[in-house]
Chains A and B, each alone.
Chain A
Amino acid sequence: MNLMISPLSQTPIYAQLEAQLRQNILSGELSANEALPSIRALAKELGIGIITVKRAYDDLCSEGLLVSLQGRGVFVAPMDSERARQIRMAQLAEKLRDIRQYCDSSAITREELIDAIQKIYEEEFL
């Protein structure tokens, strides 16, 4: 696992950590049942707050990506490929919403957007 936090980013630190942990889990970099560092150890390693790490762990626990076992630590939840795909699709939808917002504010129509995506796949954009 490789994590890096930028305190100057517009993205809150806990959200950066969540996104990177999520990516590590979905990519298989972190495997099922693998133990994560303790909250305090990770806070020290990354040079960030204890509560910040706790929040990232808590959020990923409620997403079902991590499980916290009382007194034993935090582990990567076992995940089937169906669930991993659901999460990836949810992330894609999030990115597409940004793109749609951009299109709406730039007077780009739905058809033009779909056409642009098509062209990217055909590698002859612009």
Chain B
Amino acid sequence: MNHVLEIKNLTVDLPGFSLNHITMDIPRGVVVGLIGRNGAGKTTLLRTITDIYAPNEGTILYDGIPMRGNETMVKAKMGIVYDTMYYPANTKAINLAKMLAPLYPDFDMERWHQLMSRFGLDEKKRPMLYSKGMQMKFMLAMVLARDPELLILDEPTAGMDPAARAEMLELMQEFMQDETKTVLFSTHITSDLDKIADYIALIADGKLVCMEEKDALLEKYVLAQIPHGAMNEEICADLIGKKENSFGCIGLSRSRSLLAQIPGVQLTRPSIEDLLIYGGGHEE
């Protein structure tokens, strides 16, 4: 089995929002970055994968196994970290671990102690007194103590300073040293993905725009600045997420060779941020 997750035709209807017919496979042993604007459906997708929302249509297979009827087995494989503290944060860290450990058969208390000391976290402190970065690391320690196969993180770097973000990315990469592990994380700090992501899944307006290997995806597109005089219908139709500026207009294109022949056109390699800005759809 080469896919740790297989999502087929997934539709989730929530009041005021829906996720439409999402189909994607997540390969094992890679880091997948899930990007999209606020309200595009990133959290809804992650919450459906982690069984908080029930799909209205479609299936999700975990190592080929459906969630229904196999909840315990499937959930034991997954470790989930959300962007806000979801443990009772006014209980001392060590007491929280002792309280929650019996609920997870794979929880390794020895490993937890090691992670806490590695992360520089005081076990006797209440997590509410930790900084944002420390709270994320605490939640990560709680999850990594179970040695999950699939680590799912919802905006793990949101609200962190650059040094804390770099440390978070390093921890993900450390987890990835074992080639059976997979990380799926959502973010809109796209510079995190320029570095460590292997695959990029872009969601816009509740639909999957693409799910592709990062380097291949960035090579497929150019960011093109078209001067006023050079614009024609063919170019206009080709340009994705066109924006006007005082020089002409700018957008993503897949027709590098066509544009390269037109005098005055400037082409540059897009970043993931550009993919999100020009291909990310509308604001909710």
Answer yes or no: B30 CB below 8 A from chain A CBs: yes
Distance in angstroms between the alpha carbons of A50 and B214 in the assembled complex = 11
Task: Name the residue on A nearest B213 (C-beta).
Answer: A51
Does A52 belong to the interface (CB within 8 Å)? yes
**Residue in B170, B214, B219, B269 whose CB lies within 8 Å of A47:** B170
Bound-state CA distance A36–B16 (Å) is 53
B115 at the interface (CB under 8 A from A): no
Q: Taking the nearest CB of chain A, how far is it from the CB of B103, in angstroms?
A: 31
In the complex, the answer to whether A14 meets B170 with C-beta atoms within 8 Å is: no
| A64: chain B residues within 8 A (beta carbon) | none
Q: Inside 8 A of A48's CB, which chain B residues have their CB?
A: 195-196
Task: Identify the closest chain A residue to B268 (Cβ).
Answer: A10
- Known A-B contacts A12-B219, A12-B269; the reply to A52 vs B174 at CB < 8 A is no
Residue of A at shortest CB range from B269? A10
- Chain A: minimal CB distance from B150 (Å): 16
Determine the distance from Cα of A40 to Cα of B183 in the docked complex, in whole angstroms: 14
Q: Which among B191, B196, B219 has the highest number of chain A CB atoms within 10 Å? A: B196
> Is the beta-carbon distance between B173 and A43 smaller than 8 angstroms?
yes
Q: Once the chains bind, are A44 and B177 in contact (CB under 8 Å)?
A: yes
Question: A10 to B218, alpha carbons, bound, how many Å?
Answer: 11
Determine the interface band of chain A, counting residues with CB < 8 A from chain B.
10 to 19
Residues of B within 8 A of A49 (CB): 31, 195-198, 214-215
A47 vs B194: C-alpha distance when bound (angstroms): 10
Residue in A7, A12, A41 whose CB lies within 8 Å of B177: A41
Q: Would you give the 0/1 interface string for A19-58, flagging 1 where the beta carbon is closer than 8 Å to chain B?
A: 0000000000000000000001101100111111001000
State whether the Cβ of B36 lies closer than 8 Å to any Cβ in chain A: no
B29 part of interface (Cβ distance < 8 Å): yes
Q: What is the bound-complex CA distance between A8 and B195, given in angstroms? A: 9
A55 & B215 in contact (Cβ 8 Å cutoff):
yes
Secondary structure at chain A's binding surface: helix, strand, loop or mixed? helix
Is there an interface contact between A40 and B196, defined as CB atoms closer than 8 Å?
no
Q: A13 near B: Cβ within 8 Å?
A: yes
**Nearest CB in chain B: distance from A6 CB, A:** 10
Q: Let me know if B169 is at the binding interface, CB within 8 A.
A: yes
CA distance in complex: A106, B57 (Å):
61
Residue of A with least CB distance to B219: A12
Is B283 an interface residue when CB atoms closer than 8 A count as contact?
no
Cβ contacts under 8 Å, A12 to chain B: 215, 218-219, 269
B189 to chain A, nearest CB (A): 13
Question: Which residues of B sit under 8 angstroms from A52, Cβ to Cβ?
Answer: 198, 214-215
User: How far, in angstroms, from A120 to B138 measured CA to CA in the complex?
Assistant: 61
Residue B161 interfacial (CB < 8 Å):
no
Interface centre among A14, A40, A41 (most CB of B within 10 A): A40
* Mask of B166-197 contacts with A, CB within 8 angstroms, 1/0: 10011001101101000000000001001111
Q: List 21 A-B contacts (CB under 8 A).
A: A7-B191, A7-B195, A13-B195, A13-B215, A14-B215, A43-B173, A43-B176, A43-B196, A44-B170, A44-B176, A44-B177, A47-B166, A47-B169, A47-B195, A47-B196, A49-B195, A49-B196, A49-B215, A50-B29, A50-B31, A52-B214
Which residues in B have some Cβ–Cβ distance to A below 8 Å? 29-31, 166, 169-170, 173-174, 176-177, 179, 191, 194-199, 213-215, 218-219, 268-269
